[in-house]
A and B are shown apart, each in its own frame.
Chain A
């Protein structure tokens, strides 16, 4: 049972345009969401997070939007750069459970074309 889903396995975007990566979740207990970036043969690197008390969090070129009623979050990258090409994972957790266990989506491979 996939509690966190990224339905697009891949996405191709032109450099300078906006990249939008989507993520859906089913477990209403999740109250903290994160996006990670992963290069081949490396561990994921934290990008940005959002608590369920917010609907938007912005950090530089990265913005995460959360729609709790739809159990949907998205990561916007603008402008997209070639170095953004990687696999992006969304993850969810339940805050307040000590060191949080993360539930990951399947990942979306983002390719930025020059």
Chain B
């Protein structure tokens, strides 16, 4: 089946630094990718929709200046957490819909961010 990769899988950074997370669709093109965040024992919360060739669409309450999204190509979207703080520590997961259908939306393995 289709594969979505994320890099890095785990990152620890100091407060105030910026961290970039990559999401790649390995064997299909994705004009749209989604970024989710999961807090411990909570549901996956959609943060934003990444659109190739245009600006990302952010969900209500998500700071677009803090979570910068760039959809550089049809197979790559990046999420940059700027000036990270401990409260940004979380599990970040991306997904890409294959053929535009919800049931073939493939998820990356996730990135565990820890901000000290």
Contact = CB atoms under 8 A, between A and B. Distances in A.
A12 interface: no
Interface residues of B, number: 30
Contacts of A34: 102-103
Q: Which of A32, A34, A46, A103 has the most CB of B within 10 A?
A: A46
The majority secondary structure among interface residues of chain A is loop
B102 to A, nearest CB: 4
Interface string B1-23: 00010100100000000000000
Given A43-B93, A44-B44, A102 B109 contact: no
B110 A102 contact: no
Q: How large is the interface on A (under 10, 10 to 19, 20 to 34, 35 or more residues)?
A: 20 to 34
Interface in B60-101: 91, 93, 95, 97, 100-101
Interface string A90-114: 0001010011111111110000000
Given A42-B109, A99-B32, A99-B97, A106 B102 contact: no
B102 A43 contact: no
Contacts, number: 72
Nearest to A4: B43
B100 to A, nearest CB: 5
A6 B36 CA distance: 18
A46 B103 contact: yes
Interface of A: 2, 4, 6, 9, 32, 34, 36, 41-46, 49, 89, 93, 95, 98-107
25 contacts: A6-B43, A9-B41, A34-B103, A41-B112, A43-B4, A43-B6, A43-B93, A43-B95, A43-B110, A44-B107, A46-B104, A46-B105, A49-B102, A89-B44, A98-B100, A99-B32, A99-B97, A100-B97, A101-B34, A101-B49, A102-B46, A104-B43, A106-B42, A106-B43, A107-B43
